[in-house]
Structures are given as structure tokens and as C-alpha cells.
Structure 1
Amino acid sequence: MSDTALYVYALLPDTPDAPGDPAEGVTGLDGRPLRLLRAPGTGLAALVHDGPPEPFEGGDEQVRRWVVEQDRAVVAVWERTGAVLPMTFNVLVAPGEDTAAEDRLTAWLAERAEELGARLRELAGRAELRVELTVDREEAVGDDERARALEAEMASRSPGMRRLLAKKLEHLRKEASERLADGIHADVRRRLAAVVEDIRDRTRTVRDPREAEVLTAALLVPAAEIETVGTVLADVQDSHPAVRVRFLGPWPPYSFTELTSGPAVPAAQAAAPGLSE
């Protein structure tokens, strides 16, 4: 029996009548050609490449490159099919003592066909957007007379006194930015909830000390509403000049896959745009 393992990129609906092979010409990690493994009778397929059962390991830069390559492959197939359940980095299905990796994976797909098929149908035609709204601390004080007075006083004071006044000014900016952030958070969330199907809060991996956080979230959005989300965010920014908006996507619905378990325990995970963070 072959000792070949399968590296799994994503699960997707198997639609034999659809024109073309969604995996045709798509490459994955280190340019490996990808293929569909179909589970007959389930309506499901897995996007995989063949290889040894060992996980991909390397330095930080190497792993980041692999994760980006995996993301690129999943996006390419998602754009062709409209629905995928992405896997995290390094999900491998190894052969058993007397069972090929292909048989193990197709058996798992058959066992979970109802759940997986339902989730793919729910996510069809949906995309993930990621938004970050923050308040610029300096802009938040606007024309505040106390801030202007502190800035003017700093110009004529000694270095030691300037440092003291700078701390007072920073405290004033911090209070103003956090007050504004708290004041608009609920309104922004309510307006987004009116045009998206789901909102998942996220944790910012990098925080800028010059900003106060309003909202960091993943949005599940029907394709027809992506422009509407952009319009809502543009209006928020127009209404509050101190607000900074970062709007990323569309991506496959990485944050909304919600599998209770995968075909194999991930051998390793890495953070990168689009993949598990």
C-alpha cells in the first residue's frame, strides 16, 4: 500500500456537471499541482496535493510564504466555485496501517456529508470581509482649546517642562479618542449588522498606540452587499473625520467555517491574511 499522504487545502461541492475542473492549473505550496478528490455519492470533494506524511516546517519567513501560497490556491478555487470550507495550514491525512489516505479522507467526507453539504450551501455566494475602525488620538481632540493651549505652551518651555506637558496632552488625546470610540461603536455595529449576515469580533495582532479601537471584526457578506458595506464605512468616516477605516477582502469565509473537527488534526498552524489567525 502507498505511504502517500494528502495535504488538504479546502472542501468544496462536487458538481460534475459544472464546466471545467475548478482545480485545473491551480498550484499550492512550493508550486505543487492540486487536484480534486471526489467522494462519490456525497456531493463533496477535497482540494488536495499528494506528498509525504510529514508537516511543512521551516523558519518564519518560509512558513509565511507557504501560508500565502495556500491562501492563493483556496481563493482561486473559491472564485471558480463560489463556496469552499478552507482548512488551516498543515492539515494532513496520512495513510493508516491498511488504509490509503484517499480512502480515509473519502470515508470522513461520507460520514460528515450532511453537515458539510449544509454548511457549503449556507456559505455559497458569501464572502468574508475584515474591517478595522480606529480613532486617531491626535485628530480626536479636534479644536479642543485645552489641547491647543498645551501645544502653544510647549513651544516656549524648557525640555523638562515640555515632557510634562506632552504627557498631559497625550492623556487628553487618549481620553478624547476613547470617548469617541465608545460613542460610535454601537452605532457602527448596528449599521453593519443591517447589511451583513454575521459579525465575528477579532483581536488585532498589531496595535498602534496613536489609535483607539472602535471595531475589529470579520463580516459574512452576500456578494451583492459588498458595495453596501463599503458605503456604510465611507459614511462613518465622513461623519467622524478622526475615524480611520481599514477594509480588507473579499476572501473565502475563513472565520465562518465552523467545522466541529477536520479530516485530521492540524500538524501546525500559522498566522497570515486569510488563514487561521
Structure 2
Amino acid sequence: MTVYVYSVIAADHPARLDHLTGVGAEPSPLRLVRTDRLCAVVSDVEQEIRAKRRDLTAHQDVQESLMADGTVLPLQFGYTAADDQAVSEALREREAEYLDSLERLEGCAEYHVKASQDEEALLREILGESEHARLLNERIRAGDTDPRLPLQLGELVAAEIRDRQESLAAGLVQALLPYAREHAVRAPAEGDLLNVSLLVPDDHKDAFIDAEGGLARQVDHVTFRFTGPLPPYSFV
């Protein structure tokens, strides 16, 4: 029977699992695969686990429950091993790496910050501040039929949007970095200008949340989406 692996924790973690439900159509009880210094939280599964809402929620609930009692190395959804022996061997082979990660992540949680910008407001800003863009726009609105004008304006505006959003995103990240131990910047989804994950120590949590709120109030025409605290998937 295949073993589904949720996370890795230290051997002395409380690992309160009785109240949790595992993944699968007929979830098996959660249990621990132990070595001297580490444990893997696992359950048996009889079929391939797909990313259905119930199973995604069950996976996440395990991580958050373990995180409430100590440091956890959360595995991404869907990780399986052939059997307990394979899990145990992996724990022993990577023991030093896992122990280092547990020490590095101790007392921290992950937070996501995403941001999008009002495109109409940004376009008005560009047309108001870029003389070249304003002149091209005025010629088009006045009826100039030169077919090159819309292309030139479009290219100019696209470049301005890219440069301005990259600069704004960099500034936002810099404003949050003092509160984070580590960070990971990812390519933002279409329509967004920022997608960053931050590893925030618990003793910086309140200051970090205050800084988030300050950015939301100070930066015009930008919508922020803050998520956390979360298990530190991005830093395992």
C-alpha cells in the first residue's frame, strides 16, 4: 500500500494527530514514521491522490495543526512513497538537511503578499507624465490616420507600465524585508505586479502586519492581498 507523506517534524514534536483526517476517499489514520531525531507524518492510501478540494483541505489542515505545536517542514500536496521503509530511509539520508531546515524555520511562518494596480489610473498617470505618450495620444484623438501612431503609443505605454510596476514592486518588497528572515519573489500572475512570500519570525509578526496595513493605506490605486500565517512551503 502506498504511503502519503504530509510533512517532516522533529522527534520531540507533540504530533497531536487524533483529531485530523487524512487524504483519500476512505482516509486512513495518520501516523508517524520515526527515526532517532525525526518523524514523518504519513497515512496509507490505496489510490492516486488527485488535487480535489477535500484532499487539499485535509493536507493543509495537517500542516496547520502541526505548525500550531512546533516547527514543521510541509511537503507539497501529492507526495507519496512506496512504503514506511522508503520514508525511513529518506529521513536518515537527509537527516542533516532536515534538521538544519527545522532550526532555520523555528518560530517562523510564511506570509504571501500579492498586489495589482488599477490600470486605468496607471494609464492616466502615464499620459499625464510622459510628454511623448501624451502627444501621440492627442494626435490619435485629433484624427491623425498615421497607422504607426497606435503601435507607437501601445509600445510606449507597455514599456512604461512594465518599468513603473517593476520599480513599484521592488519598493514594496524592500519595505517589507526588515520584518522577514527570508523572502522569495515569484513571477506575478497576469494582472498582478507583485507576488512575494516572506518568512516572518513570530516576534516580528505584529510589526509586519502593521507594515502591510501601512502599505495598503499609503499606495494609491494598488490592491493588496495578504495571506498568512501559513506553513512555510516556500522555504523548505
The two structures have a TM-score, normalised by structure 1, of 0.67
Could you tell me which residue of structure 1 aligns to residue 8 of structure 2?
11
Residue 91 (structure 1) shift: 1.9
Could you tell me which residue of structure 1 aligns to residue 196 of structure 2?
217
Could you tell me which residue of structure 1 aligns to residue 216 of structure 2?
237
Residue 69 (structure 1) shift: 2.5
User: For 1:194, what is the secondary structure of its paired residue?
Assistant: helix
Could you tell me which residue of structure 1 aligns to residue 170 of structure 2?
186
Residue 199 (structure 1) shift: 1.3
Find the aligned partners of 2:206 and 2:120 in 1 and give their Cα distance: 30
Q: Does 1:55 align with 2:48?
A: yes
Residue 64 (structure 1) shift: 3.3
User: For 2:199, what is the secondary structure of its paired residue?
Assistant: strand
Identity of aligned residues (%): 23
Change (3 A) 1:199 1:40: closer
Find the aligned partners of 1:168 and 1:139 in 2 and give their Cα distance: 20
Change (3 A) 1:115 1:182: closer
Find the aligned partners of 2:100 and 2:172 in 1 and give their Cα distance: 31
Change (3 A) 1:68 1:76: same
- RMSD over equivalenced CA pairs, Å: 3.4
Find the aligned partners of 1:220 and 1:118 in 2 and give their Cα distance: 16
Find the aligned partners of 2:157 and 2:219 in 1 and give their Cα distance: 15
Find the aligned partners of 1:178 and 1:256 in 2 and give their Cα distance: 28
For this pair of structures, how many residues does the alignment match?
228
Could you tell me which residue of structure 2 aligns to residue 250 of structure 1?
229
Find the aligned partners of 1:202 and 1:78 in 2 and give their Cα distance: 27
Change (3 A) 1:178 1:77: same
**Equivalent position amino acid for 1:207 in 2:** E
**Equivalent position amino acid for 2:36 in 1:** G
Consecutive unaligned residues in structure 2, runs of 5 or more? none
Residue 141 (structure 1) shift: 4.5
Structure with the higher helix share, 1 or 2: 2
Could you tell me which residue of structure 2 aligns to residue 35 of structure 1?
30
Q: Does structure 1 conserve the Cα–Cα contact (< 8 Å) formed by 2:63 and 2:74?
A: no
Could you tell me which residue of structure 1 aligns to residue 110 of structure 2?
128
Change (3 A) 1:184 1:33: same
Q: Does structure 1 conserve the Cα–Cα contact (< 8 Å) formed by 2:23 and 2:59?
A: no
Runs of 4+ in 1 over 6 A off after TM superposition: 165-173
**Equivalent position amino acid for 1:198 in 2:** E
Could you tell me which residue of structure 2 aligns to residue 72 of structure 1?
60
